Every structure is written in C-alpha cells, then in structure tokens.
C-alpha cells in the first residue's frame, strides 16, 4: 500500500519490550526512525504518538481511541502476539489505521506450557520442590498419578489445542475433543475422538481449554459443568482468563471434585494477592507465561517488525485483523464489498448450525469483474469471527476453515439477477441442509443490505443487533413480538417481513437498539409457532 509518505520521516514507536532482533530489524530499514519507550504512562504515550507512523506493542500498552486520535500520522499498529484486546480496533479502522497481530508465533510455546501444567497436575513437582527448599524429605505427601491410558479432554482443537493433543498422544493418553466447528473428518485425521461438551466433561480425567474469549466461551466451565465431571478431575487453562470460572474452581478444589488445577491466565490480571487460588493445595500457577520463551518472543518480535516495515514501505499487508492485503486504489473500490461480505459471513454463521461441511460463496453482477479473493476472505473471516476470535484474519481465514474440515466453494455467476451486485453465502451441514443469506450494496455510499435469508426475501440494514424469526404464518405474530420487546424495554428500529405462501413459513427480521434479555428470548422460543429464533450481532 502506498501512503505517499516520505520514507525518511517515518517514525516507529516501540512501546513495549519486544525481541531485540525485532528492534534491530526495524533500525536497519532505511528511513525508519525507531524510538523505544518502554513502561511509558498513558499520558506519555499520548505525547509520544504525535508524530509516529507506526506503533509496536505487546499487551502492556493500551492503544485507545484517544491515542489513535492523538496520532495524525499513524498508519499501522503491530501487536507482538495474538490477542488485540489492548488495541481499539474499531477506532483504528475508522481512521484507516492497520492493526496487525502475529497469530502463529507462540503456538509451540503455549502448547508446551500447557503440557507442563498437565504434567504438574499429575505429579506435584512444584509442591515437592518447595518442600525440598524448606529442608524436608516428605515422599508420601507428593504421590502422583500417571498420564498413561488416562483421558485428556481438549476444548478447542485449533493450532494450540492440536499441538497439545499430539503431545498427549505421545504419552499414551486417549484424547477426546469438543470443538463445535470441527468437522468429524478433521478430528479423525488427528486421531482424536470428537464429542459433545457434556460427553467430554463426563469422560475426561484431564481437561484443557484452548478457545478464544467470546460471549459463548465466557465461564463455559462453571459450577454446572464441573458437576458433570468425574470426581477428582484436573483442569488447565493457558488460553484466556474467564473461560473457566475461578470461583467454581475454588469451590471444586475445596470439595474434592477438582483434584488439581493449572492456570496461566486469569479473569483479572495480575491475579489478586489474596486470591484463594494462591493458597489451595493442588494448584499450579504461572503469571501469563504462554508466549514467554526465547524462541516465541524472538519469532513474534521479528514477525511484527517485518510486518510494520512492509506496510510503511508500501508493501504487502500481512496478518491484518481489520483489512486485507490491498493497495490503496483497489481498497477504495473493493472496500464496501469487504464490509458486506464480512457481515454476510457473520450472519450465516450465527443463523446456521455450529458444525458445517462447506461454505459456498456466489457472486453476481459487476463484482464478478473484480478480484474477489479479498472479499472471499472477508466472508470467511466474518464466518470465523465468533469461532476463532482474535486469532483469525484475512490472511489465515482460509487455513482456519480448512483446519476445521470446512470446504470452500466460490462461484462467479453470469446469470441475470435483480441487483447490480449480489453476494450469496451458504453454510451446508452434513445432513445437506442449507442456511444462507444474500446481500447487496445500496445508495451512493454503498451501504450493505441483506436482501434474502434462507430463501425468503427481506430488506434489512446489515448492522447492529438483529432478531431473526422463522414462524408458522398466522395472525398475531407481529403483535406478540412487538409487545414482548416493549415489555423487555427493547426498542425496535426496523422490521422486515417475508413469507413463502399464506399459512406456510414466514420470516421476521428486526433491527434492535439493544439486546433482548435471556428471559425474553426464552419466551420467544417457547411460542408454538416459532420454528427458529436467532439473535444476531453484526
């Protein structure tokens, strides 16, 4: 991408400590002025960014909307790591600032740390070592168990979960996995038994989680989940704090339902000094060391440095979480389609089943004459957004889908349609059922619009919060939903209605100003005429 900047005036702020080799790489690039400012306060950061073109961070420095507004020359933010929680991606996108991460550099480091915790959960090495330092020789107190022939439950079989599974198999463990988006064929190829979450909880001796933090994964292992586990289960989390509910872990350890715990991440970091987790027996704690190996830090440090240098020199954009690899001229033309495509992908994923066999994309109209590769990747990224979280971007979305065992099919059609441009996204399940949506651009500014859901025509703004309902076509349904939303304090911004034929299936799609309560959603689903009810966040 060419930013029409004079290279000799480009300044890179390295706000957090990254690998010296990464910093050295940046310093060796002609025309880049590198400023290292570690441990700077928020006020100091605001002052430092006034004339910077790029910022490199890890997890310590917060790149807020205020920071972005204070940096008029800012072109890119590079995160040496996976998560971009400390970067306001929306504010960056609105300003046209590229946000990049390094999603693969810490895979082995995190997998190895996870397995270290698993080993310590079987053999209390940390506790025994502490006892030895105290001058004791207490062999009976630190008896352990073997991993051999035990069952390890892996929750989330992505890059890191897959690496942990390999190591467990080498120890002779039976590996089972829950990943709602993983195709059975992929699990079989990895020699892993795919199963439901309840089955995994009931069968596992050890459980390790490797999911992104989303609305659905927050506290996914809580008191109710632990009650379904074997007595004496051992749990490990080196992914994201909050996936396992800490209060439930504490009570489980006290009751004996949980025999051992290994944590590297916490609901609030740093972990409170008075947390009971620090004092309970059978607990192994590390201070968020997942990526803290020489090799991992060197890898992500060099990777983020190369990415920053490429962007500032007008080269390829890699691992961008908020835009694909496009030059400026192309982005102006394709940009609106990227937004539409990502929202179609997100919509179909939330409307369809958790597990699919293929994702089919079809283009009609003027867009057929464009290079649609970036739009396809935007659709794939949108589809994966609530599945893979921060780790998915325009670069790795196709690989991430393939890793889940999902096939992709793209067709450019020359058939006549009623729109100047039209994009169709269909998720095909193993039983052959299809869940899909179509969208187009409207107006001079090219606003994304949903024009069809599950073969029923609609007219819906592709933004914000949507409530999509399929119901038996009968009188009173609009009134029922309207009254229920009013009772729940949820304002209806817009509504689109469609049906096949009178008395058959009808579709109601509502733009909402706020999210309905769980009670309101349950009441909708309990109505005998409702066939499908989905709350969708675009």
Q: Which long-range contacts (CB under 8 A, 24 or more apart) does 20-28 make?
A: 20/301, 21/298, 21/301, 21/302, 22/56, 22/80, 22/298, 22/300, 22/301, 22/302, 22/303, 22/304, 22/305, 23/301, 23/305, 25/302, 25/305, 25/306, 25/309, 26/56, 26/305, 26/308, 26/309
- Among candidate residues 95, 219, 288, 527, the one labeled active-site is 288
**CA distances (Å), 501 to each of 12, 435, 504, 505, in order?**
61, 20, 6, 7
β-pair type (151-155, 174-178): parallel
- Among candidate residues 53, 186, 240, 403, the one labeled active-site is 240
The 3-class SS string of 199-222 reads HHHHHCCEEEECCCCCCCCCCCEC
Neighbour tally for 201: CB within 10 Å:
22
The 3-class SS string of 403-435 reads HCCCEEEEEECCCCCCCCEEEEEEEECCCCCEE
- Residue 85's SS3 state is coil
- Among candidate residues 60, 146, 269, 474, the one labeled active-site is 269
Tokens of 50: 């006034």
Nearest to 118 by CA among 187, 169, 179, 156: 169
Catalytic site residue 240?
A: yes
Q: Please give the positions annotated as active site.
A: 240, 269, 288
């Amino acid at each position: 991408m060419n930013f029409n900047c004079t290279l000799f005036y480009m300044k890179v702020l390295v706000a957090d400590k990254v690998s010296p080799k990464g910093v050295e790489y940046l310093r060796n690039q002609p025309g880049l002025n590198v400023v290292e400012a570690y441990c700077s306060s928020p006020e100091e950061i605001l002052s430092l960014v006034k004339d910077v073109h790029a910022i490199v961070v890890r997890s310590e420095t917060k790149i807020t909307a205020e920071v972005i507004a204070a940096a008029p020359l800012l072109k890119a933010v590079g995160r040496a790591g996976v998560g971009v929680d400390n970067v306001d991606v929306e504010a960056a996108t609105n300003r046209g600032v590229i946000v990049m991460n390094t999603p693969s550099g810490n895979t082995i480091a995190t997998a190895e740390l996870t397995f270290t915790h698993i080993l310590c959960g079987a053999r209390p090495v940390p506790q025994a070592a502490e006892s030895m330092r105290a001058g004791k020789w207490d062999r009976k107190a630190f008896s352990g168990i073997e991993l051999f022939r035990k069952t390890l439950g892996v929750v989330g079989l992505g890059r890191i979960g897959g690496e942990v599974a390999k190591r467990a198999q080498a120890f002779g463990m039976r590996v089972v996995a829950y990943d709602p988006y993983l195709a059975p064929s992929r699990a079989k190829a990895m020699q892993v038994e795919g199963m439901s979450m309840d089955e995994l909880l009931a069968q596992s001796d050890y459980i390790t989680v490797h999911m992104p933090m989303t609305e659905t994964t927050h506290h996914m292992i809580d008191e109710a989940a632990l009650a379904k586990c074997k007595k004496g289960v051992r749990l490990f989390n080196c992914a994201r704090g909050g996936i396992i509910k800490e209060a439930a872990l504490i009570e489980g350890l006290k009751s004996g339902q949980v025999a051992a715990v290994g944590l590297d991440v916490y609901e609030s970091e740093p972990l409170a000094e008075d947390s009971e987790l620090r004092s309970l027996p059978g607990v192994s704690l590390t201070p968020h060391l997942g990526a803290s190996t020489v090799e991992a830090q060197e890898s992500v440090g060099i990777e983020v440095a190369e990415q920053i240098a490429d962007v500032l020199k007008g080269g390829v954009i890699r691992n961008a979480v908020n835009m694909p690899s496009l030059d400026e001229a192309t982005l102006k033309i394709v940009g609106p389609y990227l937004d539409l495509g990502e929202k179609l992908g997100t919509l179909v994923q939330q409307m369809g089943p958790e597990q699919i066999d293929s994702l089919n994309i079809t283009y009609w109209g003027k867009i057929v004459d464009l290079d649609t590769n970036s739009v396809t990747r935007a659709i794939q990224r949108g589809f994966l957004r609530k599945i893979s979280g921060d780790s998915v971007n325009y670069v790795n979305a196709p690989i991430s889908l393939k890793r889940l065992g999902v096939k992709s099919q793209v067709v450019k059609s020359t058939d006549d349609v009623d729109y100047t441009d039209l994009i169709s996204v269909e998720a095909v399940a193993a039983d052959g059922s299809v869940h899909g949506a179509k969208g187009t651009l409207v107006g001079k500014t090219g606003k994304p619009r949903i024009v069809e859901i599950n073969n029923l025509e609609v007219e819906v703004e592709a933004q914000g919060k949507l409530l999509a309902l399929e119901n038996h076509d009968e009188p009173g349904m609009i009134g029922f939903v309207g009254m229920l939303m009013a009772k729940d304090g949820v304002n209806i911004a817009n509504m689109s209605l469609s049906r096949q034929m009178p008395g058959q299936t009808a579709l109601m799609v509502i733009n909402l100003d706020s999210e309905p309560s769980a009670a309101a959603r349950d009441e909708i689903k309990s109505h005998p005429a409702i066939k499908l009810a989905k709350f969708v966040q675009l």
